[in-house]
Amino acid sequence: MSKKMILPDVICEVVKSGNRYNALDTDGNKYTSEITWGCRKNAHKGGYLIGRFPSKNGKTGSSWRRCTDKVLAAVNESIPVTGDVIDENVLVDVPTDHSEMLNFIHSSYSLKPRGLVMNELKWKYLVRSAVRGKNIMMTGPSGCGKTMAAKSLVNALDRPDFYFNLGATQDPRSTLIGNVHFNEGTGTFLSEALFVKAISTPNAVILLDELSRAHPDAWNILMTVLDYGQRYLRLDEKENQATIKVAPGVTFVATANIGNEYTSTRVMDKALMDRFTIVEMDVLSEDEEKDLLSYMFPHVNSDTISNVSKIAALTRAESRNNSARIPGGISTRTTVELCGLLYDGFSLAESAEVSIYPQYDNTGGGDSERTFVKQIVQKFCDDGTSDDLFNEEETEVATEA
Ligand SMILES: Nc1ncnc2c1ncn2[C@@H]1O[C@H](COP(=O)(O)OP(=O)(O)OP(=O)(O)O)[C@@H](O)[C@H]1O
Ligand SMILES: [Mg+2]
């Protein structure tokens, strides 16, 4: 065998977008913030690929430089994973100057997209938690903007980002670790999951969407990864050896529906919850809802938008009552969908029929959840299509918060 060659753990192509040189790997992950401008510019101009090379002889740090043809050829051969391939102390670009950090956090509200409604304190807390490398858990009922806020945070930070929807994952091991293969000549191979790469990327922001719906195996795998004292991923529990370190500056942002109306969501383990800083997304008030919908749908009649906001607010207030007749209020996701229908020429009654009513149980006839919601909606339908099932007085009583 020839002398051991140091190989890069990441290879990027530099592409120019606007006046920015972005470094992207083949999966589209961005490494721009790790690499100096000059290095990126030269790679783009010179038309070559650059790689992140760990330092020799266990020294700290890593450096980005040109990948020669020899290096690329070596990388293209399949290399068995040994597990301890990640250098713990790779160079990171986390701002260390406290005043710079303060300034960034406290001016960060301008980075919040206009279309996301989130109060200033919560947004700044979210940004602060991210730049301090905390594990963040966004909580709140369905359709209140958790995923939207998490994605907006990632966009605002300009750091490499990775997205995992754990609610849709049937096989947590292959999503978070990878698949093990056997080969007679070379032994065990692991084709690593994207998650392994994500946690090995310094400064990455990793979204763990719908963590509350994840399989309990996923929670177990994530325990050590999220623990500030451990910060590693165990590749193989049985052999009790191979681990991947979480790179410095990595931030996890999870989302969870936590609330008693979400009985289908598994109750999350207390130990797992303890590993997170909680950022609770607020359900919008009637005025906030109206502002958002008017901003998103400037061509929809403003009175109708007010009515939609009122309907949503009434259902939310009812669902918070001790003796609530409906399990949850109409979400902002639903009001946005409903206004999309209004914009496309459907009446309020028609829009409600297809977007709101199917969410409520129809059993029990006149006492059903659906009848109750219908009765609220119909109070605001003046297009002649509503057949008033209830008189004013009954409706008033039913909608009292
Ligand atoms: N606070 C908000 N600000 C702006 N838009 C919102 C907000 N909340 C919800 N929306 C609208 O509702 C849609 C769904 O929101 P999002 O996917 O973020 O909900 P979620 O809380 O992640 O829900 P789930 O728990 O079901 O995953 C968004 O695309 C957006 O149009
Ligand atoms: Mg979501």
Please tell me the predicted confidence (pLDDT) of residue 267: 67
Atom of ligand 1 nearest to the CA of 148: 18
Please tell me the predicted confidence (pLDDT) of residue 86: 32
Please tell me the predicted confidence (pLDDT) of residue 306: 97
What does the pLDDT average to over 381-385?
Answer: 60
Is the pLDDT reported for residue 366 higher than 60? yes
Judge if the beta carbon of residue 167 lies within 6 A of ligand 1: no
Higher pLDDT, 3 or 41: 41
Is the pLDDT reported for residue 176 higher than 80? yes
- Other beta carbons within 10 Å of 267: 10
E strands present in 218-331 = 232-234, 243-245, 251-256, 277-280
Query: Which residues have C-beta within 8 Å of that of residue 210, sequence separation ≥ 6?
Result: 165, 166, 167, 168, 255, 256, 257
Mutate to test the pocket of ligand 1, among 139, 148, 279 (most ligand atoms within 8 A of CB): 148
Higher pLDDT, 75 or 156: 156
Please tell me the predicted confidence (pLDDT) of residue 240: 60
Mutate to test the pocket of ligand 1, among 144, 154, 266, 331 (most ligand atoms within 8 A of CB): 144
Which of 69-83, 149-163, 227-241, 311-325 comes out lowest in average pLDDT? 69-83
H or E element, residue 30: none
Cα(323)–Cα(147) distance, rounded to whole angstroms?
30
The residues with which 22 forms a beta bridge, in sequence order, are 15
Judge if the beta carbon of residue 146 lies within 6 A of ligand 1: yes
Is the pLDDT reported for residue 387 higher than 80? no
If pLDDT is split at 50, 70 and 90, which confidence band does 117 have?
Answer: very high
Amino acid occupying residue 328: G
Q: Is 332 left (phi over 0), alpha (psi -120 to 50) or beta?
A: alpha
Measured from the alpha carbon of residue 113, the closest ligand is 1
If pLDDT is split at 50, 70 and 90, which confidence band does 242 have?
Answer: confident
Q: By alpha-carbon position, which residue is closest to atom 30 of ligand 1?
A: 333
| Pairing of the two strands 62-66 and 161-165 | unpaired
Is the pLDDT reported for residue 130 higher than 80? yes
What does the pLDDT average to over 273-301?
Answer: 95
The residues with which 135 forms a beta bridge, in sequence order, are 252
Judge if the beta carbon of residue 147 lies within 6 A of ligand 1: yes
Cα(130)–Cα(123) distance, rounded to whole angstroms?
11
Is the pLDDT reported for residue 221 higher than 80? yes
Q: By alpha-carbon position, which residue is closest to atom 25 of ligand 1?
A: 142
Cα(150)–Cα(168) distance, rounded to whole angstroms?
17
Please tell me the predicted confidence (pLDDT) of residue 353: 97
Measured from the alpha carbon of residue 262, the closest ligand is 1
Task: Tell me how far CA of residue 176 lies from CA of 26, 82, 195, 232, in angstroms.
Answer: 19, 17, 5, 12
Mutate to test the pocket of ligand 1, among 336, 341, 359 (most ligand atoms within 8 A of CB): 336
Judge if the beta carbon of residue 116 lies within 6 A of ligand 1: yes
Task: Calculate the average pLDDT of the chain.
Answer: 84
Is the pLDDT reported for residue 377 higher than 50? yes
Taking a C-beta distance cutoff of 8 angstroms, is the pair 190, 198 a contact? no
What is residue 69's three-state secondary structure?
helix
Measured from the alpha carbon of residue 359, the closest ligand is 1
Judge if the beta carbon of residue 143 lies within 6 A of ligand 1: yes
Please tell me the predicted confidence (pLDDT) of residue 283: 94
Q: By alpha-carbon position, which residue is closest to atom 13 of ligand 1?
A: 333
> Could you please report the per-residue DSSP string of 123-146?
HHHHHHHHHTT-EEEEE-STTSSH
Cα atoms in the 13 Å half-sphere on the side-chain side of 375: 23
CA 71 to chain centre: 35
Structure-token match 């391939």, residue found: 85
DSSP 265: S
Judge if the beta carbon of residue 117 lies within 6 A of ligand 1: yes
Judge if the beta carbon of residue 127 lies within 6 A of ligand 1: no
User: What are the residues whose beta carbon lies below 5 Å from ligand 2 (ion)?
Assistant: 147
Cα(257)–Cα(236) distance, rounded to whole angstroms?
30
Measured from the alpha carbon of residue 297, the closest ligand is 1
Atom of ligand 1 nearest to the CA of 140: 21
Judge if the beta carbon of residue 142 lies within 6 A of ligand 1: yes
Q: By alpha-carbon position, which residue is closest to atom 16 of ligand 1?
A: 145
Judge if the beta carbon of residue 332 lies within 6 A of ligand 1: yes
Measured from the alpha carbon of residue 138, the closest ligand is 1
What does the pLDDT average to over 300-314?
Answer: 97
Axis crossing angle, helix 120-131 with helix 98-106, rounded to the nearest 10: 150
Which of 120-124, 140-144, 268-272 comes out lowest in average pLDDT? 268-272
Judge if the beta carbon of residue 309 lies within 6 A of ligand 1: no
